[in-house]
Structure 1
């Protein structure tokens, strides 16, 4: 009994001794934090999306306050308002930020696509993609399991009844989290004034693509031939729209009318 008590007293004493040493060391080597860092952090959206290139809002706040070469406009979700606030707090100049929004490059809903097998695994696109590239015949299309929804810091995406994500442009901040997390890369960021988007991601040849999805781009080039401003070209069997030319010059996109599968669409439904 006495031995047990002695052991407890000894361990307690050792614990107190090392605790005091750590407390003294912590006080002695304490580094004062610049209070401006937390002030800047407070004006950031707190999405922890990493769009700024730093590991969270606090890391960016530290960088923009302590490093004169870090610009104040790296917070993409915060857009111009936050950029100006950070610039004012840090005494820097905020360059203009072009707003960008998430856009789905796939129209492969359950009505348009065929499947290779019935997937009954974890409801996650990354997991499904690891099994023969997913259940859909189209190896480039949206898997429809909502990984983008789960990872959107601003709740700007929801899954539609057709098993395709629906992006709320009013809530989307353009952080790019969904773009980076999607294993099929069917989400891309586009400019605010984008007119025409290609709702397809397939690089298969026309006959193969059409067999896998009725709404696929065939790479036929009809859209490119009918574009009066040479804003469309075909690369790897897929139509590519030059965003800048389309925005600056096109007022009446004939490519949408001519596309045989409806793979080209207005970015904003209100434009129709």
Structure 2
């Protein structure tokens, strides 16, 4: 019995000594935390999306407070309100933040896009892409297994019944997380004031596009020739819209009229909401 008591006493003594040593060490080597970091972090949305280029909100808060060269407007989800608040706290000037939202550059759904094979593996686009560039005939098209959906920190993406992700523009913050995880680079960020968008990501020639997808961009250039402001160019067999020129100069989207596959579509400026769903685009093509 006395041995057991002795063991307890010794262990307790050792614990007290080690605790005292750790307390002294902590006090000696403690680093003073700038209280401004906590204030800045409280202003951030805590999505941990990495859209700012840093590993989470805490890392950005530390950087913007401690580094004079880090601007206060890097929090994309927080938009202008957060940029203004951070600028006020840090005493820095905040440039205006352009609001953006995620846009899926593919209308090739289960009905209008050809498949090479039936995929029955892991429900992950990155994994499926390792097998012959995915199940779609178009090597540039959305694989549709929801990797972007699963990685959206704000719940702004859902996977539609047609095999394509749907963006909830009211929830989308434009953080770019979905863009970074897509193995096909199908997702891009569009300004919320954009007038038109290209519903395709293919760089194949027209004949190959027609074989793989009914609604793909053929790279024919008719949209570019019908844009009087030069806001559209065909680059590597794909129509590309300069959204800033389009927003500043165009009031009537004449480029839409001649597109043979309806691959270029109108959207409602300031809202970032597509006027037509992918199903409606497919229906329009089938009528023509």
TM over 0.5: yes
- Within 5 A, what are the aligned runs for 1:149-228? 149-228=149-228
Q: Secondary structure at the match of 2:257?
A: helix
Deviation at 1:267, TM superposition (A): 2.9
- Within 5 A, what are the aligned runs for 1:16-165? 18-165=18-165
Q: Deviations over 1:156-188 (max 9, x none)?
A: 111111111111111111111111111101110
Tell me, in whole angstroms, the C-alpha distance in 1 between the residues paired with 2:106 and 2:14. Answer: 64
Q: Secondary structure at the match of 1:267?
A: strand
Q: Secondary structure at the match of 1:220?
A: coil
Deviation at 1:24, TM superposition (A): 2.3
Q: Secondary structure at the match of 1:188?
A: strand
Tell me, in whole angstroms, the C-alpha distance in 2 between the residues paired with 1:252 and 1:84. Answer: 34
Q: Secondary structure at the match of 2:102?
A: strand
**Structure 1's 133 and 270: CA in aligned 2 closer, same or farther, altered over 3 A?**
closer
TM-score with structure 1 length normalisation? 0.92
Larger deviation, residues 12-21 vs 105-114: 12-21
Tell me, in whole angstroms, the C-alpha distance in 2 between the residues paired with 1:182 and 1:12. Answer: 56
How many residue pairs are counted as aligned between the two chains? 272
Does residue 258 (structure 1) correspond to residue 276 (structure 2)? The answer is no
Equivalent position of 2:279 in the other structure: none
**Structure 1's 136 and 10: CA in aligned 2 closer, same or farther, altered over 3 A?**
farther
Could you tell me which runs of 5 or more consecutive residues in structure 2 were left unpaired when the two chains were aligned.
277-288
Deviation at 1:271, TM superposition (A): 5.6
Deviation at 1:229, TM superposition (A): 1.7
**Structure 1's 14 and 101: CA in aligned 2 closer, same or farther, altered over 3 A?**
same
Deviation at 1:63, TM superposition (A): 1.2
**Structure 1's 22 and 216: CA in aligned 2 closer, same or farther, altered over 3 A?**
same
Equivalent pair of 2:253/2:266 in contact (CA under 8 Å): no
Tell me, in whole angstroms, the C-alpha distance in 1 between the residues paired with 2:59 and 2:187. Answer: 27
Larger deviation, residues 62-71 vs 183-192: 62-71
Q: Deviations over 1:194-221 (max 9, x none)?
A: 1111100001111111111111111111
